[in-house]
Amino acid sequence: MQILKTRIELENALAFIRGSEHTLGFVPTMGALHKGHISLLRKAQMENDYSITSIFVNPTQFNDPADYSKYPRQLAVDARMLEDVQCDFLFAPSSNDVYDGVRIENFDLGPHMHTLEGEFRPGHFQGVAAVVKLLLEMVQPTKAYFGLKDYQQFMVIKKLAEKYNLHSEIVGCEIIRNESGLALSSRNQLLSSEGKVVATNLSRALYQIRSQFGTIPIKQLLANGKNALSTTPGIRLEYLEIVDAKTLDSLSHAEQGKFGAIALLAAYVEDVRLIDNMFLTFPTGNMNA
């Protein structure tokens, strides 16, 4: 595996792919890799001739400086993990190399940027859009792979690639969970053993909502879920919503989710912010189309 630290090194390493018939699968990450990231890489390897993973903790998508400073960083460990699974390239640039001389745009990617995560993390999706656009322009992959745990982010990135004609297919990949149902996340490293047990209540609430969706009113489903989470010691719920999987509009009746319905939540456990989601009915057509 080649480790690339600068734009110039990236361009030189990938020069043989440019203009050829070779395909390149790209997995952008912020590091602290886990089995979820590796599942993205495996899919990229299956569907492309070459694979590349980036590790870059992007400062512009953190609205809380303390959250940015405590985000787990373990480049050496991550590099060994990627080498073990035969990733072809690791791109690990510095912030200066990504943003030096770049004017950050003010992105208008529609209502997906302003609800849920956009409401509770002002500026977050502006930062996400900025770094993803820059990385896609630098790497120029055939396909880029993103986990659906960050479902709203996935929707924003699809819109970004479409609006700016970034010439990369954006592929969403299923959430990977541990044996207790907890969605795998780099932030889980910040939880104690007890905190991880508490955090399993998040997915438990989503499974409960899914099992009852369509049988009791959505208003009652949400009330039950919010009550269960809010009364669980150690959980501070930020939001729990049921929305249309394509438009992210709130649903009041199950049959309104004509593009599929999804429940999304965010909550704090031990001052670590966690997000999760679960499809209640699946989207019509191809999720990645």
The three-state (H, E, C) secondary structure of 3-72, written as one string:
EECCHHHHHHHHCCCCCCCCCEEEEEECCCCCHHHHHHHHHHHHHCCEEEEEECCCHHHCCCHHHHHHCC
Query: What does the radius of gyration of the chain's CA atoms come to, in whole angstroms?
Result: 19
- pLDDT score recorded for residue 31: 96
| Backbone phi and psi for residue 249, each to the nearest 5 degrees, phi listed first | -75, 140
**Whether the predicted pLDDT of 78 surpasses 70:** yes
Residue 121 tokens read as: 């993390």
* Per-residue confidence (pLDDT) for residue 259, from 0 to 100: 77
For the segment 30-56, what is each residue's pLDDT rounded down to a tens digit? 999 999 999 999 999 999 999 999 999
Residue with more model confidence, 261 or 285? 261
Tens digits of residue pLDDT in 95-121: 999 998 777 788 988 888 889 999 999
List pLDDT tens digits, range 233-279: 999 999 999 999 989 999 988 776 667 899 999 999 999 999 999 99
Q: Check residue 143 and give its pLDDT.
A: 98
Q: What is the pLDDT of residue 103?
A: 79
DSSP 148-169: GGGHHHHHHHHHHHHHTT---E
As a whole number, mean pLDDT of residues 218-226 equals 97
Q: Across all residues in the chain, what is the average pLDDT?
A: 94
Percent of the chain with pLDDT strictly greater than 90: 86
Q: 219 pLDDT band (50/70/90 cuts)?
A: very high
Query: Environment class of residue 162 by beta-carbon count within 10 Å: exposed (0-12), middle (13-18) or buried (19+)?
Result: exposed
DSSP-H helix ranges across 171-248: 193-212, 218-230
Q: What's the confidence (pLDDT) of residue 233? A: 97
Mean pLDDT on 107-136: 92
Name the residue ranges covered by the structural domains of the chain.
2-173, 186-280
Neighbours of 285 (CB within 10 A): 10
d(CA 263, CA 260) in angstroms, rounded, equals 10
Catalytic entry in 22, 34, 37, 112: 37
- Can you tell me the mean pLDDT for 207-213? 96
26/39 Cα distance (integer angstroms): 12
pLDDT of residue 168: 97
pTM of the model: 0.94
288 pLDDT band, cuts 50/70/90, is low
pLDDT of 204 higher than 80: yes
For the chain, what percent of residues have pLDDT higher than 70?
Answer: 97
37 part of the active site: yes
**CB of 11 closer than 8 Å to CB of 139:** no
Nearest to 110 by CA among 144, 167, 152: 152
- The architecture that CATH gives domain 186-280 is 2-Layer Sandwich (3.30)
> How far is residue 45's CA from residue 53's CA, in Å, rounded to a whole number?
11
Is 172 in contact with 154 (CB distance < 8 Å)?
Answer: yes
The residue-averaged pLDDT of 66-81 equals 94
Cβ burial, residue 112 (10 Å; 0-12/13-18/19+): buried
Residue 289 in this model has a pLDDT that exceeds 60: no
Which of 3.30.70.260, 3.40.50.2300, 3.90.1300.10, 3.40.50.620 would CATH assign to domain 2-173?
3.40.50.620
- Residue 287 confidence (pLDDT): 58
Model pLDDT for residues 154-167, shown as the tens digit of each residue: 999 999 999 999 99
